[in-house]
Chain A
Amino acid sequence: MSQTTRRDMLKFLGGAALASTGLLGKSAFAADKAKIVIIGGGIGGITTAKYLRMINKDVKITVVEPNSEYIFCPGSNEVLLGDPIADFIRTYDHPRKRYNFDMVADKVASIDYAKKSIKTAGGTTLPYDSLVISPGPTFVFDDIEGYSQGLAETKILHAWKAGKQTTMLRDQIRAMPQGGTMVIATPSMPFRCPPAPYERASFLAGWMEKHNPKAKIIILDKNPGFIFQIQYTKYWKDNFGFGTDKARIERISSQEGGAVAKVDAKNMTVTNAHGDTIKADVINIIPTNQPNELTVKSGLKKVDFGIEVNHHDMSIDGHPDVYLIGDSADFLVKTGYLAANQAKVVAQAIDDRLHGKSPGQPIYTNNCVAKASKDNFGMSITDTFRERDGKLLLAQTVQDPFPEEIDNPFLHHIRAAVSDNWQRSFRRAVFD
């Protein structure tokens, strides 16, 4: 938001003009409501609708989302430990009423940027004045031999969007034979929620300690290192014999051949980049995350970490009034936290433009949480991104606890509680 003071405004309009036109001509929009279409009813999409409505009563907002409810990903690894998935589910009734937006229960089939309209799979055409694209990532299945979307929905689950697969994976783990092996395979960066594969492994190793003490988790990692590596490594050494023959968690990094080349669902084996084959009882492959196919199909430009956006306001250069947020946008880090803060920047930019102002200076924080154990070991990251000339600058990133704090168990307990608190508050901040 630009810093328009009352004095600037009076100077701009002049006293008499202010009286005759109404404040910034806002009444004009009531007669001809600007149509805002939002693709995706997730964290990014609903936050955009909510925060736009909080500052603009006039626009007509339509959210296009095929699902009738949203299941929050943040925290959903805890469902694997037995937490009810209901805690993570929100229906759209409340935000739709409170923030007065329409919903179209359909998938988007195509976007016509020239005509400023979208078309749904069911054939509905929706014209827009501003378009916000927030559809989540598209998962890639064909970069691993023997893997497919069908397998991912039935046997070789990913559980990387919280939902049915999360509870199915939980049940697979519970049904594992004593002393069995679970493989968790990661995609290369960037992917949604960078600490989540390691959090998942850490949670499940803790669960196995009680329920299946001889079982083992092998992380096949397509990356050389990972976020919170110092903290997780410490926790795993202290609790799971990490690095020894009897380790409950073993990690094979990308340099050691961690990338999965092939999966054989019938014989339940995975083959890594070095040709080594591992037999497992549960195979959890987290597929490669790509910018949503809709963005690629509609001709938007792919760069290193997603679709190229102008980081000043998350708009797409050359496509007036189109904004892109969340997993598909060009940010190395993909989190719900960031998607929500990108959404707030977009809501402000849309409102600014409707009032003839250019969008003001943004800031994006990602002050997010992860855990090594559900109740005993929480961690936090404090990221701040600033923007200059449409480009993103990382001003701060800090991973807590610091190595020198790592032997203080009280801190880890507090951070686990903060993490739980954050999950609840975040769900409320998006949907309430």
Chain B
Amino acid sequence: MQKIILSGILLALLLPVHAEEENPFIEKVFVSPDTYAKDPEVSGKMLGDNCDACHGTQGRVFDEGIPALAGIPKDTFIKLMMDFKAEKKPTIIMNHVARAFTDGEISRMATYFAAQPATPWLAKKGEEK
């Protein structure tokens, strides 16, 4: 796995990386999340909010292929994410999503989603509570 220590990485993005490919985009950058383990903690909610774009507000979209996250028991969530992170569970995106987070962050995300109600964010007409 390619590991690059990043300083001024955004500038580096504009420079040719592999001259033969003439591509200003680095195709793979991975800095172990543990590099940031001593930085101030990102809260469970802040981490969870980042998941909403695919998994729905507070992880509460239950009628799509991309699954809901709200209400998943904490241990189940952690097991899933750690398996994705370790490439133990086949997936096409979640392996790369999961490995960007520290174990602590995965645990805080798990706490956050376990606390969200397992009901659709937008109830269908007639099903509102």
Contacts and interface: CB of A to CB of B under 8 A. Distances in A.
A382 B96 contact: yes
Contacts of A363: 42, 46-47, 50
A429 B100 contact: no
A344 B36 contact: no
Given A189-B24, A348-B46, A429-B56, 10 more contacts: A223-B24, A224-B22, A225-B23, A365-B50, A394-B13, A396-B96, A396-B100, A418-B92, A424-B64, A428-B122
Given A1-B45, A396-B96, A422-B54, A227 B66 contact: no
Most buried by B among A1, A3, A305, A428: A428
Given A225-B25, A344-B49, A396-B96, A429 B14 contact: no
A385 B107 CA distance: 20
B26 to A, nearest CB: 6
A230 interface: yes
Contacts of B41: 3, 360-361
Given A224-B23, A425-B54, A304 B10 contact: yes
18 contacts: A1-B45, A225-B23, A225-B24, A255-B22, A341-B50, A348-B45, A365-B100, A367-B54, A367-B93, A380-B92, A386-B39, A388-B39, A393-B31, A395-B6, A395-B100, A397-B29, A398-B30, A425-B55
B122 A432 contact: yes
A400 B92 contact: yes
Contacts of B127: none
A140 interface: no
Interface in A392-432: 392-401, 411, 414-415, 417-418, 421-422, 424-426, 428-429, 432
B122 A225 contact: no
B93 A51 contact: no
Interface string B74-101: 0000000000000000001100110110
A230 B61 CA distance: 33
A253 interface: yes
Contacts of A265: none
Contacts, number: 166
Contacts of A425: 53-56, 61, 64, 66
A396 B85 CA distance: 14
10 smallest CB-CB distances across A and B, nearest first, come from: A225-B23, A382-B96, A384-B100, A361-B40, A344-B49, A1-B43, A432-B122, A394-B9, A365-B50, A396-B100
B129 interface: no
For chain B, which range describes its interface: under 10, 10 to 19, 20 to 34, or 35 or more residues? 35 or more
B125 interface: no
A220 to B, nearest CB: 16
Interface in B2-20: 6, 9-11, 13-14, 16
B95 to A, nearest CB: 9
Interface in A190-244: 194, 223-227, 229-230
A229 B66 contact: no
B61 A361 contact: no
A422 B65 CA distance: 9
B30 to A, nearest CB: 5
B46 A344 contact: yes
B14 to A, nearest CB: 7
Contact of B42 (A51, A341, A360): A360
A395 B31 contact: yes
A397 B49 contact: no
B23 A226 contact: yes
Contacts of A395: 6, 29-31, 33, 35-36, 100
Contacts of B93: 367, 380, 382, 400, 418
Contacts of B27: 230, 397-399
A132 to B, nearest CB: 16
A194 B23 CA distance: 13
Given A344-B50, A361-B39, A382-B93, A397 B26 contact: yes
Contact of B25 (A51, A229, A422): A229
B122 to A, nearest CB: 4
Contact of A226 (B13, B25, B97): B25
Contacts of A44: none
Contacts of A399: 25, 27-28
Contacts of A400: 92-93, 96
B97 A367 contact: yes
A225 B21 contact: yes
Nearest to A365: B50
A332 B26 CA distance: 13
Contact of A332 (B13, B29, B47): B13
Interface in A315-371: 332, 337, 340-341, 344-345, 348, 360-365, 367
A428 B124 CA distance: 13
B33 A382 contact: no
B16 A224 contact: yes
